[in-house]
Amino acid sequence: MNNHELRLRNDLAALRFIHHFSWLRAAELGTLMKPHTATAPEAGARLARSLVKRRLVLARKLPEGAGHALLLATAGVRLLSEYGIPATSGKSIGYTSGACWTPPSTWKHDLLAHGVLCELFKRGYEVLPEAEIRRRSSNMAKLPDGLVRAPGNQGQWHWLEVEHARKSGQHMHHLAAAIAAVSLGQVELCGVRPTRCIVAYFATTIDERGHQLDHRTRVSKAVATTAPHDIAITFAECARKGAAGVGEVQLITTAVVADLTSAILKRLNANGWHHDANNGVMQAHYGRYTAFIWQDDDVEDRWSYQIEQDGNPTPAGYAEKISDAKRCAAALISVANAIGR
């Protein structure tokens, strides 16, 4: 491959990344172009200068010393089109008055999302940013800040949510409801069905009142009061880099205990688990539901559980401890109630 062919390949890849994300800074572009090299920031800066000089992209200054946003220019759209890649100009992003450009009001939130997605891309995840999701699923009321697929053939798709400011109670409830729906596999978009959630935030965030925000605790409490069953959430805790960029990202997976499941389990325990000596099955009742648990004869230290509603049993599940089997049965009742409403 000669130098001309190599530059064209790099140009097309860079322009496509910018289009997918709607806009990028040179730092994030460098990570996407050279995810496994220490010189990615310098490479991104050189590539950005070249693209701007050849008028393939527009460079617009971000506030607070956060650098420049790279937007797709008409010439960049035309170049992508020549190679069968549909794209649109980024001239409509933000607001321009004379020589003054104002970014979208969400630019800090978007920059945090971009930084997390680029870091996950560097770790081998497949990523879809919100701008690309919106193009493919414009009819959905609630969209994630990204979709990411864990490395490997069996990698799960994750719904990415970015927490940048203090949400009101109503907005936090909507977030928790979305996380619960994803965990139940009820959401399909862009041809995929995410089943796990990643919630990203800066480790140190001060709200408009001057108070330190604890995003992990706030989200966990909202999910606990909303979700019908226990949910494992991965929190992406981000260090700041510069004015608004993302530095080191720590992934922390936390099991959030659902209040609804706990309440149903408490009722099952209060009603009593009745043991059938003939088949070794224990059962307890909750309204029109019956929960069953039994110890497997074939597998040591394994308990089975299932529920029955109006004579219709669910498939059996498995747990290592009797207490876990009882909780899982309670979760099945909670989920069945949630779906039936």
- pLDDT by residue for the chain (341 residues), tens digit each? 778 888 999 999 999 999 999 999 999 999 999 998 889 999 999 999 999 999 999 999 999 999 999 999 999 999 999 999 999 999 999 998 888 899 999 999 999 999 999 999 999 999 999 999 999 986 777 899 999 999 877 779 999 999 887 666 788 889 999 999 999 999 999 999 999 999 999 987 665 565 677 889 999 999 999 999 999 999 999 999 887 789 999 999 999 999 999 999 999 999 999 998 888 899 999 999 999 999 987 777 899 999 998 889 999 999 999 999 999 999 999 998 877 65
Q: Show the beta-strand stretches assigned E in the chain.
A: 57-61, 68-72, 95-97, 100-102, 126-129, 146-149, 157-163, 196-202, 231-241, 245-256, 274-275, 282-286, 289-295, 303-309, 312-313, 317-319
Same-domain pairing of 250 and 115: yes
Whether residue 132 sits in one domain with residue 72: no
If one counts the domains in the chain, the total is: 3
Span 112-134, pLDDT tens digits: 999 999 999 999 999 999 999 99
Q: Which domain-ending residue is among 72, 102, 132? A: 102
Rg (CA), the chain: 25
Are 128 and 112 in contact by the 8 Å Cβ rule? The answer is: no
Helix axes 26-33 and 3-21, enclosed angle (nearest 10): 120
First to last CA, the chain: 61
Domain containing residue 307 = 260-340
Q: For the chain, how long is the longest CA-to-CA vector?
A: 84
The CATH number of whichever domain residue 144 belongs to comes to: 3.40.1350
Please list the residues that pair with 72 across neighbouring strands.
57
CA distance 163 to 183: 19
Domain C-terminal end among 257, 275, 306: 257
3 state DSSP class of 169: helix
The gap from C-alpha 231 to its chain's centroid, in whole angstroms, comes to 14
CA quadruple 55, 35, 188, 256: dihedral sign: negative
Do 169 and 241 share a structural domain? yes
**Residues 252 and 265 both lie in one domain:** no
In whole angstroms, give the CA distance from residue 142 to residue 46: 37
- Cβ neighbours of 226 (radius 10 Å): 23
Asked if residue 233 and residue 145 are part of one domain, the reply reads yes
> Do 252 and 161 fall within a single domain?
yes
- Token reading at 329: 């049965």
Global model pTM greater than 0.85: yes
- 234 and 330 co-located in one domain: no
